């Protein structure tokens, strides 16, 4: 009877709730921390929307949120590789500031005046961006060489860079703000002109959906080729539906945000268009800086997951000694990581300065803290060897959502800093618990 009672005794209710979820996670191979971040982001958005009286989840705020996140999202893709190799970079905000100032001076003084190209010349913005990339990569190479070959800890080198490059940004113009910038360059900052409109947004959305489905298909074919375990078809379909659904929703939100009334009226007058009684509705569409950030994210994901360099980076983070014994030139890889970090700072500097239409001494201030926080919140472990580009970019969205929501609620800046600091410590604590339980 005891055996029969044991057979017919119902299991604990939680076991039935956990089994379907566990099966789903195993079948789809979804990172549990990434799934948890998506849930946390949903809670943050819903909470701020309630407390702000419905202002947070509007096309206008979400569009602005995407543009505000772009700069940090670009830099955090490089910070992931830095943290994965058990290093840190505290100088990214200062590098952004000095590179932004250099690009501003090139556009307003050096190229049009000293080289005689003239204001508005089509080469000005191109040469300015290339010049900024050269400066950013050069700074990264210098810091990386000191870290790799002189064996100075990255914390000290980049802490010194934090002060050196911030001072250098001031010396470039002796503290003056440089404005206005080249009109074509300004498109990298967003705004009505710096967006691609409704039609092209839908085109990119459809292309993105096709790319998602193609990536899933070719990944499945690759697994078949090497006899690797495959996900069930329903799991593949679920991932495809979620990815395409998210893409379509993002495009719809971007297209739902119209140009300001006065700008739309001026556009209609300049192009001989009749303004309807209810006003002219012209969609912003996807902003150019968002496209840049997404493009950088895709490229960095490919670099980290599909190239020899990416495998070397994660091997170094997992066990630096073993990686060196295996024949990996860990010093040169470290230099390349910081060179890449400098180049990404230059791209972020172009986005930030274009958005302000000015290069100021405050450009990039405290960005290093937001970038590191976004990387850690996104699942990058300070112990090294763990981190994803997608998770870090999602962490950047979380950080900017917190800041945007607190601004809508009218919270003071000191309180905003307190919240960000608490969230960062909490994220590191969760990472510690995750690694302890995984062991």
In order of 7, 32, 67, 85, 126, the CA distances from 188 in angstroms are: 66, 35, 10, 31, 12
Q: Each residue of 257-309: pLDDT tens digit?
A: 999 888 888 888 888 888 887 778 899 999 999 999 999 999 999 999 999 99
Short-list 59, 71, 6, 91, CA closest to 374: 71
My answer on whether omega of the bond before 176 falls inside 30° of 0, hence cis, is: no
Give the bridge partners for 359, in sequence order.
178
Domain count, the chain: 1
Chain mean pLDDT for the chain: 89
Q: CATH no. for residue 309?
A: 1.10.3470
90 neighbors 158 (Cβ within 8 angstroms): yes
Is there a domain that residue 375 lies in?
yes
Strand partners, 283: 258
Confidence of residue 6 (pLDDT cuts 50, 70, 90): very low
User: How does 124-151 read in b/e, with b if 16+ C-beta sit within 10 Å?
Assistant: bbebbbebbbebbbebbebbbbbbbeee
- pLDDT top residue among 274 and 310: 310
- Greater model confidence, 231 or 256: 256
Q: Is the pLDDT of residue 381 over 60?
A: yes
| DSSP letter (8 states) at residue 187 | G
Please check whether residue 247 is in contact with residue 208, taking contact to mean a CB–CB distance below 8 angstroms: yes
pLDDT at 317 over 60: yes
Confidence category of residue 7, pLDDT binned at 50, 70, 90: very low
Q: Which domain holds residue 51?
A: 31-195+287-438
Q: What is the pLDDT of residue 183?
A: 92
Residue 296 tokens read as 């950088």
Question: What's the pTM?
Answer: 0.91
Q: Please, which residues have CB within 8 angstroms of residue 77's CB and are 6 or more apart in sequence?
A: 296, 297, 300, 344, 389, 392, 393
- Per the model's pLDDT, the better-predicted residue between 104 and 37 turns out to be 104
Question: By C-alpha distance, which of 238, 301, 222, 211 is closest to 25?
Answer: 238
Domain assignment present for 2: no
Lowest mean pLDDT among 10-14, 100-104, 199-203: 10-14
135 domain residue, yes or no: yes
In a domain? residue 275? no
Establish if 270 belongs to a structural domain. Answer: no
pLDDT band at 147 (very low <50, low <70, confident <90, very high): very high
What pLDDT is recorded for position 8?
40
Ranges 41-45, 53-57, 247-251, most confident: 247-251
Does 215 reside within a domain?
A: no
Written as six digits, the tokens of 25 are 């996670």
- Whether 277 maps to a domain, the answer reads no
DSSP letters for 199-219: HHHHHHHHHHHHHHHHHHHHH
Q: State the pLDDT at residue 12.
A: 43
């Amino acid at each position: 009877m005891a055996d029969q009672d044991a057979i017919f005794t119902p299991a604990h209710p939680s076991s039935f709730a956990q089994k379907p979820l566990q099966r789903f996670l195993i079948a789809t191979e979804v990172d549990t921390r990434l799934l948890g971040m998506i849930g946390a982001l949903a809670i943050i958005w819903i909470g701020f929307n309630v407390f702000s009286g419905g202002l947070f989840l509007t096309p206008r705020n979400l569009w602005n949120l995407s543009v505000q996140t772009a700069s940090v999202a670009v830099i955090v893709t490089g910070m992931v590789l830095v943290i994965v190799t058990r290093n840190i970079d505290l100088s990214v905000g200062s590098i952004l500031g000095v590179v932004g100032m250099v690009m501003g001076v090139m556009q307003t003084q050096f190229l049009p005046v000293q080289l005689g190209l003239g204001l508005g010349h089509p080469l000005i913005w191109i040469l300015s961006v290339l010049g900024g990339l050269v400066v950013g990569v050069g700074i990264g190479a210098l810091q990386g060489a000191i870290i790799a070959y002189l064996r100075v800890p990255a914390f000290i080198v980049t802490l010194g860079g934090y002060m050196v490059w911030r001072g250098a940004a001031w010396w470039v113009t002796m503290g003056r703000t440089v404005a206005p910038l080249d009109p074509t360059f300004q498109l990298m900052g967003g705004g009505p002109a710096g967006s691609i409109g409704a039609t092209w947004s839908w085109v990119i959305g459809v292309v993105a959906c096709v790319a998602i489905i193609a990536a899933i298909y070719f990944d499945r074919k690759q697994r078949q080729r090497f006899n690797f375990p495959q996900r069930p078809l329903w799991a593949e379909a679920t991932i495809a539906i979620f990815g395409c659904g998210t893409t379509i929703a993002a495009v719809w939100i971007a297209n739902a945000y119209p140009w300001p009334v006065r700008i739309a009226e001026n556009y209609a007058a300049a192009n001989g268009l009749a303004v309807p009684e209810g006003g002219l509705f012209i969609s912003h569409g996807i902003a150019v800086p968002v496209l840049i950030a997404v493009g950088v994210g895709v490229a960095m994901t490919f670099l980290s997951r599909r190239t020899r360099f990416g495998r070397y980076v994660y091997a170094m983070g997992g066990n630096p000694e073993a990686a060196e014994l295996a024949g990996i030139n860990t010093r040169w890889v470290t230099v390349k990581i910081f060179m890449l970090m400098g180049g990404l700072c230059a791209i972020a500097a172009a986005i930030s300065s274009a958005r302000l239409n000015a290069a100021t001494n405050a450009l990039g201030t405290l960005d290093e803290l937001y970038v590191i926080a976004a990387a850690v919140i996104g699942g990058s472990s300070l112990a090294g060897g763990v981190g994803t580009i997608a998770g870090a970019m999602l962490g950047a969205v979380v950080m900017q959502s917190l800041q945007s929501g607190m601004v809508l609620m009218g919270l003071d800046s000191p309180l905003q800093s307190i919240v960000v600091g608490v969230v960062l410590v909490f994220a590191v604590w969760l990472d510690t618990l995750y690694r302890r339980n995984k062991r």
